[in-house]
A and B are shown apart, each in its own frame.
Chain A
């Protein structure tokens, strides 16, 4: 039950993009096509899960025991950055097709709040455990994917609309994100 609640909360109620404001840059940036947004979502899912796993371990077994919690930010970002690079290498070697699909998005992810933010948020889970943290990361990525893919499909449709000049580009995208977020407020109170 806990896990279901985490999932619903992360996907609908506290959607990482639409209500937590994490990962807005890729959300606005890599969303002009549904196909790319699916690739991006896959990459985020992968990196976020892995990053949360590793940072959770580092936090629990290195930082906390040595009383160095204040190094959280700097060590997390270093680990995430190296991790992403490593994943890139391994992917390139092990599975070229997967690299084609996800690899291009990997560099983008290093500087993505969602990954670092998700990792930090995972530390604060109630009754936290490694499994829960990882599950939380997966749920968040699903939330990210949902928002991103829906948003991309809307953008594809808007490409064919005659949007007033002043609204074209950034403003209309922000507005769509706003209305999406408005609609998602309806899920308030589910958990």
Chain B
């Protein structure tokens, strides 16, 4: 009986030795080097695979990070500076701090202020309806309201409100930029997140002349230049009947907000001002304003 034990040991160990020899040859002859740092970097990346960094997925971005000499140009918007610091630690390279950004919706043309003049029938998609015409209202620059941006947001950071406009939940927004790409109208812009998420920006993209714009939408920028005049920092420029606030220059003084006759300029997360007696004809506008503040309340509780 002891023989059988012996036999089995001999047989198995000879197979084992043969296997070892074979494997040794394999490992010697066909050695493929892969930088172990790639997987290390990949581990710290958020694995959202959103493409916000410009690479097709996190793994590809990790490869690019490891492969590049200078990674200060590369940035993972989802992970933000924290992640980039970790990456830099792993790679022993410098990263540039990026101001955190957040998506803002530059249109306030909800149902009440921007009357519908036609009815669209077809797939509910901004990109598709934009192919056939300028939308259900007379404004051909504003939001189409079919929510392509909301659909592409992987982080549930957007929703369509009752007014038919998208709203960004700034706390959830990772600034991946997917919505910016999805919007056929370029309504969405990435703007600096600033302290306490304070922002001042023009909530309109209508390039039509004042009268036409105003007729299409109550809160349209009519290109009156009052804000440009009042801005102490020259942060506001006028182009094609439309004001634009340069976030780099803007100091959040909010002088422009008050002078805008159509309330086109949106401020977020500022403490409530002393209540102005609302002028009667501005009732509809007031609705929009409270809407904007609802958003700010949301953010402050979480910030």
Q: Taking beta carbons and an 8 Å cutoff, which residues of A are in contact with B?
A: 62, 66-68, 70-71, 74-75, 78-79, 81-82, 85-86, 88-89, 92
CB distance from B227 to the nearest CB of A (A): 47
Which 3 pairs from chain A and chain B are nearest by CB? A82-B19, A78-B15, A66-B7
Q: Taking beta carbons and an 8 Å cutoff, which residues of B are in contact with A?
A: 4, 7-8, 11-12, 15-16, 18-19, 22-23, 25-26, 29-30
User: When the two chains form the complex, which single residue of A68, A81, A88 contacts B8, counting CB atoms closer than 8 Å?
Assistant: A68
Residues of A contacting B29 in the complex (Cβ-Cβ under 8 angstroms): 89
Residues of B contacting A70 in the complex (Cβ-Cβ under 8 angstroms): 8
Residues of A contacting B15 in the complex (Cβ-Cβ under 8 angstroms): 75, 78-79
User: Could you tell me if A62 and B26 are in contact, using CB atoms closer than 8 angstroms?
Assistant: no
CB distance from A51 to the nearest CB of B (A): 14
Majority SS at the chain B contact face = helix
User: Could you tell me if B11 and A68 are in contact, using CB atoms closer than 8 angstroms?
Assistant: yes
Residues of B contacting A62 in the complex (Cβ-Cβ under 8 angstroms): 11
User: Could you tell me if B12 and A71 are in contact, using CB atoms closer than 8 angstroms?
Assistant: yes
Majority SS at the chain A contact face = helix
Given A66-B11, A68-B8 in contact, is the A78-B16 Cβ separation under 8 Å?
A: yes
Chain A to chain B contacts (Cβ below 8 Å), 25 pairs: A62-B11, A67-B4, A67-B7, A68-B4, A68-B8, A71-B8, A71-B11, A74-B12, A75-B11, A75-B12, A78-B16, A78-B19, A79-B15, A82-B18, A82-B19, A82-B23, A85-B22, A85-B23, A85-B26, A86-B22, A88-B26, A89-B25, A89-B26, A89-B29, A92-B30
A78: nearest chain-B partner, CB-CB: B15
Residues of B contacting A92 in the complex (Cβ-Cβ under 8 angstroms): 30
Residues of A contacting B12 in the complex (Cβ-Cβ under 8 angstroms): 71, 74-75, 78
A136 to B7, CA, bound (A): 31
Residues of A contacting B26 in the complex (Cβ-Cβ under 8 angstroms): 85-86, 88-89
Residues of B contacting A66 in the complex (Cβ-Cβ under 8 angstroms): 7, 11
Residues of B contacting A82 in the complex (Cβ-Cβ under 8 angstroms): 18-19, 22-23
A165 to B166, CA, bound (A): 25
